[in-house]
Structures are given as C-alpha cells and as structure tokens.
C-alpha cells in the first residue's frame, strides 16, 4: 500500500472511530483517548491528521453532510416529480441514520454544538435545498395554492428532526421507518392541491436505492 493511501486509510479509521464515540457518548464525554482506542492507531497518528477534538468534530459533521448531500444530488438526478423526490429523500435519510454511525454522529454533533456556534451549515443547506424542491413541486402543480415553499422547507426539516429524535429516545430508532411513513401520510395530503391528491399513493411508495460500489 502506498504511503498516501495508508495515510488516507488511517484518517478514515480515525474519523470512523470518532463518529462511533460521538454517537454513543456525545461530544463532551468523548475523549481523544477513546478515539485512539477505538481506531487502533497511535496518539501520534491521530495528532498527525487532527489537531484537536474540535477539529475532529467538525470533520465528522462535514463527512455526514457530504454523505447526505450526495444522496440528495443522486435523487434529484432521477428526474422524478419533486414530491416523489421528497419521499425518497426522507426514507434515504432515515436509512442513513439507522445504518451509518458517521451520519448519526454528525446529526448529534450538529445539535449539541449549534447553540454555541451559530446556525449550522447542514440545517441551512437542507432548508435551502428543500425550499427549491417545494418550489419545483409548485411549478409542477402538486402544491396547494396556499402553500409557501420556504415555510414548508423549514417545517419539514423540523418535523424530520423531531421524528428521528423521538424514535431514538423511545426505540433506539427501531421504528424510524414506520414513523417516517406516518409523517408523510399526514404531511402530503395537507400540502397537495386537491386535484393532484390522487398521486399521493404513488408518491408515498417511492424509494431510492443507493448505487453500490
């Protein structure tokens, strides 16, 4: 293995171990020693790649956001109707939260650190992206005339955040997929134009499968 490749692998090991620790114990209770133990690298190797726990926390958030944004871009590239994309996105974000410790840690860190560090970029980006998605839905004729895209975007981010947090508290996210389904059952009929509600069932059952490899 080339030196540059080894360095990349080591860096990813550290990020993964940091994410697993942050996910389980939170930012404040996680120590660099915990991350060293979890990653299997030396403390010197950790400090070669990251200068502090603050830097590691920021990188985990960036990695989580990149993973989620990449999925959003691929879903958008399907060319599906905007509300169908919304459904695919909701289920994909749920899958990521359940399966990927980097995503779980990034979401947890964003919530834990947001009070001290201002509006976190992931939430700002998600609200902006969904604002455009709802504008697209309006242009396609799917939204009721009374709906405001910016208001819907902020509400949907808030609703999804609450659903996954409560699911974590009550069932360790074991029921997250069914709770997302319930959220969409309530949300979609309330925002769609009456003449387009016959499409609800086809939208609700939309899923996106990530490309393997």
> What pLDDT score was predicted for residue 32?
94
> What pLDDT score was predicted for residue 119?
58
> What pLDDT score was predicted for residue 127?
97
CB atoms within 10 A of CB 46: 22
Domain presence at residue 36: no
Domain presence at residue 154: yes
Domain presence at residue 41: no
CATH number at residue 197: 1.10.357.10
- Tell me the residue range of the domain where 121 lies: 61-204
Region at 64 (left for phi over 0; alpha for psi -120 to 50; beta for the rest): alpha
Domain presence at residue 83: yes
- Cα–Cα nearest to 89, from 74, 103, 99: 74
Domain presence at residue 25: no
Scored b (16 or more CB within 10 A) or e, 50-63 reads: beebeebbebbbeb
Q: Which portions of the chain are predicted below pLDDT 70? A: 1, 115-119, 212-213
Q: How many domains does the chain have?
A: 1
Domain presence at residue 141: yes
- CA 202 to CA 206: how far, in whole Å? 7
């Amino acid at each position: 293995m080339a030196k540059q490749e080894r360095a990349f692998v080591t860096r990813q090991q550290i990020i993964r171990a940091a994410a697993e620790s942050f996910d389980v114990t939170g930012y404040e209770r996680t120590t660099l020693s915990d991350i060293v133990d979890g990653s299997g690298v030396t403390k010197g190797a950790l400090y070669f790649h990251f200068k502090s726990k603050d830097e590691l926390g920021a990188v985990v958030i960036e990695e989580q956001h990149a993973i989620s944004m990449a999925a959003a871009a691929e879903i958008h590239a399907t060319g599906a109707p905007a509300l169908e994309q919304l459904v695919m996105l909701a289920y994909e974000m749920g899958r990521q939260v359940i399966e990927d410790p980097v995503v779980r840690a990034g979401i947890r860190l964003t919530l834990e650190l947001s009070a001290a560090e201002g509006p976190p970029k992931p939430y700002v980006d998600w609200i902006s992206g969904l604002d455009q998605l709802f504008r697209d839905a309006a242009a396609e004729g799917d939204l009721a005339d009374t709906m405001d895209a910016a208001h819907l975007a902020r509400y949907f981010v808030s609703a999804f955040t609450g659903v996954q947090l409560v699911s974590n508290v009550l069932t360790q996210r074991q029921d997250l997929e069914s709770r997302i389904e319930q959220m969409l059952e309530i949300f979609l009929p309330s925002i769609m134009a009456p003449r387009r509600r016959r499409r609800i069932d086809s939208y609700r059952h939309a899923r996106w499968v990530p490309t393997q490899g």
